[in-house]
Chains A and B, each alone.
Chain A
């Protein structure tokens, strides 16, 4: 046991002390926080500043009601001629000219939008919406509906999605936030398993090619060496993960207080203080802020149990990592250099890629369906599938069953891999094949 600890210590320290580790660990949160700050900055400043000034030339006799300016669009009616204004557009201070000819109200044709720059799709849509509204209002009024009734007709709808949890309590939830958080957790899980699994494989290959393996193996059992390496690297992964969370929070908090005026901070600080407990969550917020009103995201984030999500994430990271890294160790032991790993990597990568792809499509669309259920049970796919499903809420018994299967799964792969590993590490210069590896598996002693 003491020897495993020594190995874990070496594997851990030799990696944590590396320059690349230190740079990665400190740079990544800075980049995340940078994006975070930038997006918040632009989403607040940008919306306020960006208002297109549009000169409207109305030659239409029926459409006398004026287009109403809003936050993004400022309509100014001009009596100038279209041709004259067109010529002097760049000096006039307007971004666009909207030309409304005297068209038939039932077939609105010949409307033109001319600017010094190409109008974007969203601007086009917004203006045609505004004109359509104007025409509709005109028609409604003509059929005898008063302005008061008209105003009364307009309403803004926002659905408050709730879900009853296991204990019968209502929780706020939103498919949007769950998708985003599940997506980020899935991507992170995939990244972590790949990144650190490959590190295990590289470590094994390094020991083999540097020929230190036989020296060490005369002091410790191959199984101890393999497990020491796997556990040591897992701790490197956890260290990096925790540092990322802590650094992201502190840098984000700093960035937020630097970038944004007091007014704006109120709303953001309220949400960030409670979601920034985890970096995926703060990323979720960023993404969500782009797609929907902030209030909604904030409310639905409140409904998510981040403590549980993080705990489960760490469990599945460790479980999934152990499951796969043992296989990576077996591959590393069978080859003489990294270039030879290709043919063995495929079968190990496939289930991981598959669960990644399926989780983000099928599982997200139907988080309670049979495919989602089975993907989150099979240990090859459960680490990713389960964390993607988790924000939607997973019944406790399913979670426990899946965790149990994963534990049995990694004990199985570790055992399987160690039998190949103990033979593989002592084979030099032999091209390994799957057939060969099966033979090794059955070797005695």
Chain B
């Protein structure tokens, strides 16, 4: 639904985006990752039409991105806030009218969302009377209220307590089930693994990695396993594997090993089975966190 083609954005003394291309499929949750200052916000600002690229283009639903698409995109920026002196209900109403909703339609939807997220009594409150987490909830409602096809969330969970973070996460998943596409920018890799279907990693203004989360993780597998066993025998590195790490457990040991080429985990098990009791065996799959750190270090 969203195709970003060869975007270049140059600020006077540095290049924020250097030939970045990526594609977001409809109905998916897309993770946009990268260290601070990598160019994520610059890219999001181009997609939300806050700024324009120097070259390259963005295609939204088969059309070149234009001002008609503004009402189909919802954006929750990382740097976000509300008018301090304005009442909550009035404020959300204003923001959704700016997105093109009529007063009556917007009022109806605000009431629906306020009920849904336990905010029923907030209509006449002022922003300065709310806690930061409560404000975040209001902002989330304002982002999704106009039923956008694409919702861009920049660090959506910062400032939430675990209960409310979970609440919001479930809303994201529910909206996603109904067909809403998400772009999700965050540093919290555990939420990436939990939510995202696809990711792109941007580092130093360039895209360094993209694809489905499962595929990326699979490609970062490096034949490493952990085995837990009990029994007297000890194992040492040999022609089949190198031992990376050994831990003494309450009962037996835990050994992390890396297979050498041409051998499978079955070969290893074959040599061990006669000597010890195997309690647990698992392949070590790198976490997104490891992948992130490794890609950025390169």
B35: chain A residues within 8 A (beta carbon)? none
- Does A291 belong to the interface (CB within 8 Å)? no
- Identify which of A212, A217, A439 contacts B81 (C-beta below 8 A): A212
Interface size on B, residues (CB 8 A): 30
B139: chain A residues within 8 A (beta carbon)? 215
**Are A445 and B77 within 8 A (Cβ)?**
no
A210: chain B residues within 8 A (beta carbon)? 81-84
A6: chain B residues within 8 A (beta carbon)? 94, 97-98
Given contacts A212-B81, A219-B98, is CB(A426)–CB(B12) below 8 Å? no
**Are B94 and A10 within 8 A (Cβ)?**
yes
- Does B22 belong to the interface (CB within 8 Å)? no
A412 to B220, CA, bound (A): 57
Chain B nearest Cβ from A209, distance in angstroms: 8
**Are B95 and A211 within 8 A (Cβ)?**
no
Q: Which 8 A-B pairs have the closest CB atoms?
A: A445-B52, A211-B81, A214-B77, A210-B81, A219-B98, A218-B75, A218-B48, A212-B81
**Contact indicator per residue, chain B 99-138, by CB within 8 Å of chain A (1) or not (0):** 1000000000000000000000000000000000000000
Q: Which of A210, A214, A218 has the most CB of B within 10 A?
A: A218
**Are A439 and B98 within 8 A (Cβ)?**
no
- Identify which of B80, B83, B95 contacts A214 (C-beta below 8 A): B80
**Are B80 and A14 within 8 A (Cβ)?**
no
**Contact indicator per residue, chain A 390-419, by CB within 8 Å of chain B (1) or not (0):** 000000000000000000000000000000
List residues of A (16-43) whose CB comes within 8 Å of B's CBs: none
- Does A216 belong to the interface (CB within 8 Å)? yes
**Are A215 and B95 within 8 A (Cβ)?**
yes
Chain B nearest Cβ from A436, distance in angstroms: 9
A10: chain B residues within 8 A (beta carbon)? 94
**Are B50 and A215 within 8 A (Cβ)?**
no
B81: chain A residues within 8 A (beta carbon)? 209-212, 215
**Are A219 and B95 within 8 A (Cβ)?**
yes
Q: Which of B53, B70, B85, B98 has the most CB of A within 10 A?
A: B98
Chain B nearest Cβ from A378, distance in angstroms: 32
A425 to chain B: closest residue by CB? B50
**Are A218 and B83 within 8 A (Cβ)?**
no
**Contact indicator per residue, chain A 412-445, by CB within 8 Å of chain B (1) or not (0):** 0000000000000010100000000001000111
**Are A215 and B77 within 8 A (Cβ)?**
yes
- Identify which of A214, A216, A218 contacts B49 (C-beta below 8 A): A218
- Does B247 belong to the interface (CB within 8 Å)? no
- Does A220 belong to the interface (CB within 8 Å)? yes
A220 to B49, CA, bound (A): 9
**Are A428 and B75 within 8 A (Cβ)?**
no
- Does B73 belong to the interface (CB within 8 Å)? yes
Chain B nearest Cβ from A152, distance in angstroms: 75
Given contacts A14-B85, A214-B80, A445-B52, is CB(A439)–CB(B75) below 8 Å? no
A218: chain B residues within 8 A (beta carbon)? 48-50, 70, 73, 75, 77
Q: Which of A214, A220, A428 has the most CB of B within 10 A?
A: A214
A428: chain B residues within 8 A (beta carbon)? 79
List residues of A (263-309) whose CB comes within 8 Å of B's CBs: none
Chain A nearest Cβ from B31, distance in angstroms: 20
Chain B nearest Cβ from A426, distance in angstroms: 7
**Are A212 and B48 within 8 A (Cβ)?**
no
Chain B nearest Cβ from A66, distance in angstroms: 74
Query: Can you give 11 A-B contacts (C-beta < 8 A)?
Result: A207-B83, A210-B81, A211-B81, A212-B80, A215-B80, A215-B142, A218-B75, A219-B70, A219-B95, A444-B54, A445-B53
- Does B45 belong to the interface (CB within 8 Å)? yes
A152 to B45, CA, bound (A): 90
- Does A3 belong to the interface (CB within 8 Å)? yes
- Does B51 belong to the interface (CB within 8 Å)? yes
**Are B99 and A219 within 8 A (Cβ)?**
yes
A211: chain B residues within 8 A (beta carbon)? 77, 79-81
- Does B86 belong to the interface (CB within 8 Å)? yes
- Identify which of A214, A220, A426, A444 contacts B98 (C-beta below 8 A): A220
List residues of B (1-50) whose CB comes within 8 Å of A's CBs: 11-12, 45, 48-50
- Identify which of B12, B52, B53, B82 contacts A212 (C-beta below 8 A): B82
User: Given known contacts A211-B81, A215-B82, what 10 new A-B pairs fall within 8 Å (CB)?
Assistant: A6-B98, A14-B86, A211-B79, A212-B82, A218-B48, A218-B50, A219-B70, A426-B45, A445-B52, A445-B53
A439 to chain B: closest residue by CB? B12
Chain A nearest Cβ from B126, distance in angstroms: 12
**Contact indicator per residue, chain B 61-82, by CB within 8 Å of chain A (1) or not (0):** 0000000001001011101111
A9 to chain B: closest residue by CB? B94
- Identify which of B12, B84, B85, B95 contacts A216 (C-beta below 8 A): B95
A439: chain B residues within 8 A (beta carbon)? 12
A218 to B74, CA, bound (A): 8
B53 to chain A: closest residue by CB? A445
Chain B nearest Cβ from A428, distance in angstroms: 6
B49 to chain A: closest residue by CB? A218
List residues of A (211-266) whose CB comes within 8 Å of B's CBs: 211-212, 214-220
Q: Which of A10, A215, A426, A445 has the most CB of B within 10 A?
A: A215
A212: chain B residues within 8 A (beta carbon)? 80-83
- Identify which of A209, A220, A445 contacts B51 (C-beta below 8 A): A445
A439 to B95, CA, bound (A): 31
A3 to B80, CA, bound (A): 21
Chain A nearest Cβ from B218, distance in angstroms: 36
A426 to B98, CA, bound (A): 19
Chain B nearest Cβ from A2, distance in angstroms: 8
A215 to B154, CA, bound (A): 11
**Are A214 and B79 within 8 A (Cβ)?**
yes
Chain B nearest Cβ from A38, distance in angstroms: 37
A219 to B76, CA, bound (A): 12
